[in-house]
Amino acid sequence: MNIRDFEYLVALAEHKHFRKAAESCFVSQPTLSGQIKKLEEEVGLTLLERTSRKVLFTDAGLQLVEQAKRILTEVKLFSELANQQGKDMSGPLHLGFIPTVGPYVLPWIVPTLKERFPDLNLYLHEAQTHQLVKMLEEGKIDCMILASVDETSAFIEIPVYDEPMVLAVPTDHKWADEGTIDMSRLSGESVLMLGDGHCLRDQALGFCFAAGAKDDDHFKATSLETLRNMVAAGSGITLMPYLSVPKEKVRDGVCYLPAKDPVPHRQIVLAYRPGSPLRSRYEDLAKEIEKKMAEVIC
């Protein structure tokens, strides 16, 4: 058996499907299936209940999956220790980010990081917070950029920027001609929001509820762009992160208004596993991101 076999086993446990597991490991389905069968023969145990519809793991199989995850985490740690002996900012770095951050911050920071650290090979992974947390725990990514929430408290967090939220209203809305909006004026209003699973939803709702507004339960957006289009269509108002908002006050049927008293905002951090030997690498990365975003958000 080898490390690759453990990767196949864990992938199969996650996907419960041979083809999808093989695709995630970048091998053919026969290759993955054959290696799993070979692993069963080596350990002398039946790890899977093979049916025509789905993959089920035996109790012994599930125990070995958990052990394989621990082994892969230790291998990741070994790799990090080895990398630490060479140039700090070289080689691969797997960076995770949430959908409400990545598309709006990456165009600013990726060119900067490539220029500042030319020997660093960035691999980017987009997923929701709970998925990134699991990926970081299992060593599938090295660090992640996301909003600080309770789910990330187990990791080391380095603040990289504080992002205000801006009120978005249709251009024919009663507030469209105003310069700024006090949050207290949202009292009694219904606000469009992202669906469950997006941490921005909970953060924005916190400010809206405090102001006396309520969640519009007739619609839940899957992305910020869908949310923006719903506002443009006159379906309601919402809060959007500063980086997702154009410089113009009005664009494509949406009017963007700074909110105040209080200014709604979220803290964006770079998070990594406690005890990682590459702490200095992540701190250098966070420092460059913080520096660049201070220029962008002013």
Structural element, H or E, at residue 31 = helix 29-43
Asked if 143 and 79 sit in the same domain, the reply is no
Q: Is the pLDDT of residue 263 over 60?
A: yes
Enumerate residues 6+ apart whose C-beta is below 8 A from 293.
105, 108, 109, 160, 161, 268
CATH number at residue 173: 3.40.190.10
Asked if 113 and 74 sit in the same domain, the reply is no
What pLDDT sits at residue 81? 67
Structural element, H or E, at residue 217 = strand 214-221
Q: Is the pLDDT of residue 128 over 80?
A: yes
Radius of gyration of the chain (CA): 23
Asked if 122 and 254 sit in the same domain, the reply is no
CA-CA-CA-CA torsion sign (81, 82, 84, 89): negative
CB 216 within 8 A of CB 164: no
Asked if 103 and 135 sit in the same domain, the reply is yes
DSSP states of 228-266: HHHHHTTS-BEEEEGGGS-SSSEETTEEEEEEESSPPEE
Asked if 169 and 222 sit in the same domain, the reply is yes
CB 286 within 8 A of CB 155: no
Taking the C-alpha atoms of residue 105 and residue 179, their distance in angstroms, rounded to an integer, is 26
User: How many domains does one find in the chain?
Assistant: 3
Q: What is the pLDDT of residues 168-210, one digit of tens each?
A: 999 999 999 999 999 999 999 999 999 888 888 889 989 999 9
Stated pTM of the model: 0.75
- Could you count the other beta carbons within 10 Å of the beta carbon of residue 179? 7
Asked if 147 and 278 sit in the same domain, the reply is yes
CA angle 84, 89, 90 (to 5 degrees): 85
Taking the C-alpha atoms of residue 162 and residue 285, their distance in angstroms, rounded to an integer, is 17
- Cis check for the bond before 262: say yes or no (omega within 30 of 0): yes
- Could you count the other beta carbons within 10 Å of the beta carbon of residue 119? 10
**pLDDT class of 86 with cuts at 50, 70, 90:** very low
Asked if 155 and 290 sit in the same domain, the reply is yes
- Structural domain span for residue 19: 3-83
Asked if 250 and 186 sit in the same domain, the reply is yes
CA-CA-CA-CA torsion sign (214, 216, 221, 227): negative
Give residue for tokens 């996650």: 14
Asked if 100 and 129 sit in the same domain, the reply is yes
Asked if 9 and 37 sit in the same domain, the reply is yes
Q: What is the pLDDT of residues 212-241, one digit of tens each?
A: 999 998 888 989 999 999 999 999 999 999
Among residues 29, 52, 83, the one where a domain terminates is 83
